[in-house]
């Protein structure tokens, strides 16, 4: 295995870079043609890696890539999920190199998507290639690669419902998450769900001179700040009525188990360059991202944001807000509660509208499952230490949907690290993690 990887690694990089060079930003219309180019490149790579069949399926959004190799229908089937779309690159001025011209620096690949998720899904393509070409493949393998994960997978659930037979499998295998550190490997056994909304506050129907009207007319930006500020109380609790109704409190025992994961608060603060952490009262940092829901403004804008001073009382103010949910919370119900809450607190002197974006539920998978056990054994061999079961703070809402639609558990073998700053400038992926991930995936097939 190691010889094969060593002998082929330059080709691996060339192939991965050909994917990274395609700016497949799913949220921006201008990149629509890039989405198709990226899907096409993936089908080529999957066929070259050994797929019997690789096809692009159109959806109402960006296309889905499906590929498969059937070794023997009686063998068990692994369904690999990944996504080829990436986040926007703003603020572009903070990148040290072109986000769409990958560079290897200091032992890492730097590019948008280097980790999330092109780099991680590519390990699966190469693990599959190795097993196919060396005659060691003892599973049927299917790939389902979507182009809409970063915008909430609006098309894939419906597509999966229409192609249930095609997607039949025993396990969904995913590398789209992080591990605690290279020294402390971990496997995600749960992810948070997501509700994403946008608030628009409208005051006067035109921008006004803040001198002539200031003090007498409600300023939509000030009102938006009041609303946002009221959503979280002093103890870090979200004030949306009914928000915590379905949140199950973990037992002291379960919390103790999670607390075993190594965590250095000083390193964490140093990495982020912050003096203090902040979150819900009564919970640790790992609990705050792992087992508790939260609410964040992802973007806010209104009025004059250019250089210098403009004395305007703006007509509108906007905020994009996301709520991360724990597995028992239903994304649609939470979005409903949020909208209702906002309507109930909207003051009479402005108009407040809520727009719904995508959302999805969280999920939990059993540590006792054969797939988890196989992954744990593979990673123990590669990393020299047993991986810790962890709870991821992020959301891959589509996995909860696929679990429900297909009746298959997802297994999250994520090889990203915090340092990779996915979704931010200078996203990267350590070469050492790429190769360890690749080896772990190959061994997973051996032990599963």
Residues 198-227 within binding reach of its own copies (CB under 8 A): 203-219, 221-222, 224-226
- Report in angstroms how near the CB of residue 422 gets to its own copies at its nearest: 6
For residues 64 and 61, give the distance between their C-alpha atoms in angstroms, rounded to a whole number: 9
Interaction between residue 345 and its own copies (CB under 8 A): no
Binding characters for its own copies, 384-403, by CB under 8 A (x = yes): --------xxxx--------
Question: Using the 8-state DSSP alphabet, how is residue 67 labeled?
Answer: E
The residue range among 65-73, 131-139, 290-298, 330-338 that interacts with its own copies, by the rule CB under 8 A, is: 290-298
Interaction between residue 307 and its own copies (CB under 8 A): yes
- Report in angstroms how near the CB of residue 447 gets to its own copies at its nearest: 28
Sign (positive/negative) of CA torsion 377, 378, 384, 387? negative
Peptide bond into 91 cis (omega under 30): yes
Nearest to 80 by CA among 111, 108, 117: 117
For residues 226 and 230, give the distance between their C-alpha atoms in angstroms, rounded to a whole number: 6
Here the contacts of 226-230 (C-beta below 8 Å, separation 24 or greater) are 226/347, 227/199, 227/201, 227/342, 227/345, 227/346, 227/352, 228/199, 228/297, 228/300, 228/319, 228/321, 230/345
- H/E segment holding residue 401: helix 397-406
Nearest to 207 by CA among 305, 297, 298: 305
Which residues ranging from 260 to 279 are in contact with its own copies (CB under 8 A)? 272-279
The residue range among 68-76, 254-262, 285-293, 333-341 that interacts with its own copies, by the rule CB under 8 A, is: 285-293
The residue range among 98-106, 127-135, 252-260, 317-325 that interacts with its own copies, by the rule CB under 8 A, is: 317-325
Q: Which is nearer to its own copies, 17 or 283 (CB)?
A: 283
Binding characters for its own copies, 74-113, by CB under 8 A (x = yes): -------------xx-xx--x-------------------
Q: Which is nearer to its own copies, 301 or 407 (CB)?
A: 301
The residue range among 38-46, 118-126, 316-324, 377-385 that interacts with its own copies, by the rule CB under 8 A, is: 316-324
The residue range among 104-112, 304-312, 337-345, 431-439 that interacts with its own copies, by the rule CB under 8 A, is: 304-312
Helix axes 431-447, 2-20, angle to 10 degrees: 120
| 3-class SS letters over 169-219 | CCEEEECCCECCCCCCCEEECEECEEEEEEEEEECCCCCEEHHHHCCCCCC
- Report in angstroms how near the CB of residue 83 gets to its own copies at its nearest: 14
Interaction between residue 344 and its own copies (CB under 8 A): no
Which residues ranging from 412 to 431 are in contact with its own copies (CB under 8 A)? 418, 421-425
CA distances from 154 to 148, 151, 325, 339, 431 (A): 7, 7, 18, 20, 32
Binding characters for its own copies, 125-154, by CB under 8 A (x = yes): -------------------------xxx--
The residue range among 50-58, 71-79, 136-144, 189-197 that interacts with its own copies, by the rule CB under 8 A, is: 189-197
Interaction between residue 259 and its own copies (CB under 8 A): no
Interaction between residue 298 and its own copies (CB under 8 A): yes
First to last CA, the chain: 17
Size of the site for its own copies (CB under 8 A): 99
């Amino acid at each position: 295995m190691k010889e094969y990887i060593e002998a082929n690694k330059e080709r691996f990089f060339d192939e991965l870079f050909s994917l990274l060079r395609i700016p497949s930003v799913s949220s921006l219309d201008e990149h629509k043609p890039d989405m198709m180019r990226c899907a096409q490149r993936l089908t080529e790579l999957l066929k070259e890696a050994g797929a019997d069949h690789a096809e692009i399926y159109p959806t109402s959004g960006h296309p889905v890539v499906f590929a498969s190799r059937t070794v023997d229908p009686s063998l068990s089937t692994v369904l690999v999920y990944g996504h080829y779309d990436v986040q926007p690159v703003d603020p572009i001025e903070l990148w040290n190199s072109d986000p769409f011209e990958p560079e290897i620096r200091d032992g890492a690949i730097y590019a948008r998507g280097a980790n999330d998720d092109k780099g991680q899904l590519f390990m699966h393509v190469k693990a599959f290639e190795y097993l196919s070409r060396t005659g060691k493949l003892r599973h049927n393998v299917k790939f389902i690669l979507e182009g809409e994960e970063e915008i909430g997978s609006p098309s894939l659930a419906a597509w999966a419902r229409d192609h249930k037979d095609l997607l039949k499998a025993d396990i969904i295998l995913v590398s789209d998450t992080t591990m605690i550190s290279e020294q402390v490997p971990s496997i995600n056994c749960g992810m948070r769900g997501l509700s994403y909304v946008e608030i628009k506050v409208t005051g006067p129907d035109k921008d006004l001179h803040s001198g002539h009207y200031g003090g007498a007319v409600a300023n939509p930006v000030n009102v938006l700040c009041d609303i946002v500020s009221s959503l979280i109380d002093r103890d870090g609790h979200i004030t949306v009525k009914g928000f915590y109704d379905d949140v199950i409190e973990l037992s002291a025992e379960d919390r103790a188990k999670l607390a075993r994961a190594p965590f250095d608060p000083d390193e964490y603060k140093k990495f982020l360059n912050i003096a203090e952490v902040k979150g819900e009262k009564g919970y640790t940092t790992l609990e705050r991202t792992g087992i508790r829901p939260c609410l964040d403004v992802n973007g806010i804008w209104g009025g004059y944001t250019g250089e210098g001073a403009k004395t305007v009382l703006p007509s509108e103010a906007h905020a994009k807000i996301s709520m991360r949910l724990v597995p028992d919370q239903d994304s649609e119900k939470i979005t409903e509660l949020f909208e209702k809450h906002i309507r109930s607190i909207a003051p009479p002197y402005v108009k407040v509208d809520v727009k719904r974006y995508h959302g999805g539920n969280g999920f939990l998978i059993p540590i006792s499952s054969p797939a988890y056990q196989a992954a744990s054994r593979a990673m123990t061999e590669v990393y020299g230490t047993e991986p810790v079961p962890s709870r991821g703070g992020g959301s891959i809402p589509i996995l909860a949907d696929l679990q429900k639609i297909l009746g298959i558990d997802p297994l999250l073998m994520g090889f990203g690290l915090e340092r990779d700053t996915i979704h931010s400038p200078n996203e990267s992926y350590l070469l050492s993690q790429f190769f360890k991930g690749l080896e772990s995936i190959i061994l997973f097939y051996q032990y599963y």
